[in-house]
Amino acid sequence: MHTDTERCVRAVRSNDARFDGWFFTAVLTTGIYCRPSCPAVPPKAENMTFYPSAAACQQAGFRACKRCRPDTSPGSPEWNARADTVARAMRLIHDGVVDREGVPGLAGRLGYSARQIERQLLAELGAGPLALARAQRAQTARLLIETTALPMADVAFAAGFASIRAFNDTVREVFAQSPSELRSRAASRASRTADSPRGVISLRLPFRAPLTPDKLFGHLVATAVPGVEEWRAGAYRRTLTLPYGHGIAALTPRPDHIACRLSLTDPRDLTLAISSCRRLLDLDADPVAVDEQLRADPELAPLVDKAPGRRVPRTVDAAEFAVRAVLGQQVSTAAARTHAARLVTAHGVPVEDPEGGLTHLFPAPAALASLDPGALALPRTRRTTLTTLVAALAEGSLRLGADSDWEQARAQLAELPGFGPWTVEVIAMRGLGDPDAFLPTDLGMRRAAQGLGLPATPAALTARAAGWRPWRAYAVQYLWATEDHAVNRLPV
């Protein structure tokens, strides 16, 4: 979008928050860059230039605006609506892969050379993987500086910097303030958590309005695995398996943000923890674009107008969700939770939760690879489905995650015994994040379609849904929400 100068100028002049994260405005006369919704008086059009990423702005020598804080914009919805190499690379960079594995590790996950990845990112984003990762490190550092009492040296290494000097130089260059100045400036803010227990970080997760939270949180809580997830004091809480340790996330819906409280055993996991929470709640979606497309169907329009901004409840771990999808085949929600709880108790890693009732991490595929099929209270065919899936995940022949090619993953899943269209598509929708995943064979979908006068047979419903593309996963949420079920209600 940043190449459409006229459209960008209109968005800046109208302070249009819908475009935050889509592009960034660099002001030639001041040397700063802003989000489109910056409340400052818009500069003259001839003094504005536009970039596709904060990293590109920083690479061009611009510093972040202190008023609108463009580094806190919601992420671009483009990366979660695409499955090409650039989009997959951006999802991995957001997960901190470059900090942990370097550019060669990023390229290896995507199946390209480091040079090819560099070229593709430069062409589309105006910055290479190192610059993009540096911008994210700066954002993480600012968050830790302003919301925790961690010593600056701990902040530097937790944010992913290799040295304190690089940390200091980057913060000064990006924010035009030293780390200590940033902390002093934030000292009086309500978000400061200096008195919080060590390892606990409170922050606000922004999103593009509107967002209707009832079904989003209702689905997560109604399907929650005991010991791994819970609803407590108005917050959805769950354990997180992270590269350097583990964590607990508590997510509370607010009118203009999601309140997030993270308890981490190692602060170096902050970047991935935030990225996982945003992905879980689909916070980088563009609800205006989605709802505009779905409103074009006269049968869906009343549903969209009643509760605009529905999100797809996703997951923090695609492999975990695939296992849970198999456990949920042809059984009730309660039965699926029971099966998953048994696996967690037998094979999950125990954790301590001083604030609630979380007891375990969901078991990794490697931990489930040795399970005894005879100990599973499942039909024989489903035992085979589960053990085959777990073996493929554990040995690495099947990889599900932010770097997955959606169509390739679908093809691999479909080759496994017991994986029909419903299981493949629900994993694509909630596990992999494909916004166009569709479930025409789902019983709830067919009932909702019939009640609205839509075609109820899978083939006819698929044909009708062609007009909903590329947002069919969101249409599924609107249709599912027509039923009176616990998954569609915000817990009390």
Q: Over range 22-44, report the average pLDDT.
A: 94
Which pLDDT belongs to residue 378?
Answer: 86
Which pLDDT belongs to residue 196?
Answer: 57
CB 464, CB 202: distance < 8 Å: no
CB 111, CB 118: distance < 8 Å: no
Query: pLDDT-based confidence at 189, cuts 50/70/90?
Result: low
Mean pLDDT score across all residues of the chain: 92
How many other CB atoms are found less than 10 A from the CB of residue 41?
Answer: 5
Residues 104-160: pLDDT tens digits? 999 999 999 999 999 999 999 999 999 999 999 999 999 889 888 889 999 999 899
Sequence-separated contacts (24+) of 118-126 with Cβ below 8 Å = 120/85, 120/86, 120/89, 121/86, 121/89, 124/52, 124/86, 125/52, 125/53, 125/55, 125/56, 125/86, 125/90, 126/51, 126/52, 126/53, 126/55, 126/56, 126/59, 126/60
Residues 377-435: pLDDT tens digits? 888 999 999 999 999 999 999 999 988 999 999 999 999 999 999 999 999 999 999 99
Q: What is the largest CA-CA distance in the chain?
A: 71
Which pLDDT belongs to residue 197?
Answer: 65
* 32-34 and 63-64 beta bridge pairing: parallel
Tell me the H-state helices in 85-128.
85-94, 97-110, 114-125
Residues 461-480: pLDDT tens digits? 999 999 999 999 999 999 99
Which pLDDT belongs to residue 18?
Answer: 84
* Of the candidates 104, 110, 106, 102, the residue with the CA atom closest to the CA atom of residue 84: 110
Which pLDDT belongs to residue 188?
Answer: 52
Highest mean pLDDT of the ranges 224-228, 266-270, 371-375: 224-228
Which pLDDT belongs to residue 75?
Answer: 81
Which pLDDT belongs to residue 146?
Answer: 86
Which pLDDT belongs to residue 266?
Answer: 92
3-state helix, strand, coil in the chain (%, to 5): 50, 10, 40
Give the span between the Cα atoms of 391 and 409, in whole angstroms: 16
| Span of 10-24, 69-83, 294-308 with lowest mean pLDDT | 69-83
Number of H-type helices and E-type strands within the chain: 22, 9
List all residues 6 or more positions away from 484 whose beta carbon is below 8 Å from its beta carbon: none
CB 450, CB 439: distance < 8 Å: no
First-to-last C-alpha distance (Å) of the chain: 41
Q: Is 27 in a helix, a strand, or coil?
A: strand
Give the span between the Cα atoms of 169 and 58, in whole angstroms: 13
Would you say residue 199 has pLDDT above 80? no
DSSP-derived letter for residue 241 is E
Residues 344-369: pLDDT tens digits? 999 999 999 988 899 999 999 999 99
List 34, 57, 68, 277, catalytic entry: 34
Give the span between the Cα atoms of 413 and 211, in whole angstroms: 32
* Of the candidates 301, 297, 242, the residue with the CA atom closest to the CA atom of residue 267: 242
Angle between helices 164-175 and 129-147 (to 10 degrees): 90
Which pLDDT belongs to residue 386?
Answer: 94
* Of the candidates 138, 136, 126, the residue with the CA atom closest to the CA atom of residue 169: 138
Active site residue 34: yes
Which pLDDT belongs to residue 68?
Answer: 92
Domains and CATH numbers, the chain: 5-73 (3.40.10.10), 200-284 (3.30.310.20), 318-488 (1.10.340.30)
Predicted TM-score (pTM) of this structure: 0.91
Which pLDDT belongs to residue 38?
Answer: 95
Which pLDDT belongs to residue 193?
Answer: 44
Which pLDDT belongs to residue 31?
Answer: 95
* Of the candidates 59, 48, 3, the residue with the CA atom closest to the CA atom of residue 25: 48
Q: Quick one: tokens of 21?
A: 């994260």
Which pLDDT belongs to residue 58?
Answer: 94
Which pLDDT belongs to residue 356?
Answer: 81
Q: Is 237 in a helix, a strand, or coil?
A: strand
Query: pLDDT-based confidence at 194, cuts 50/70/90?
Result: very low
* Of the candidates 204, 192, 198, the residue with the CA atom closest to the CA atom of residue 261: 204
Residues 161-178: pLDDT tens digits? 989 999 999 999 999 999
Q: Is 113 in a helix, a strand, or coil?
A: coil
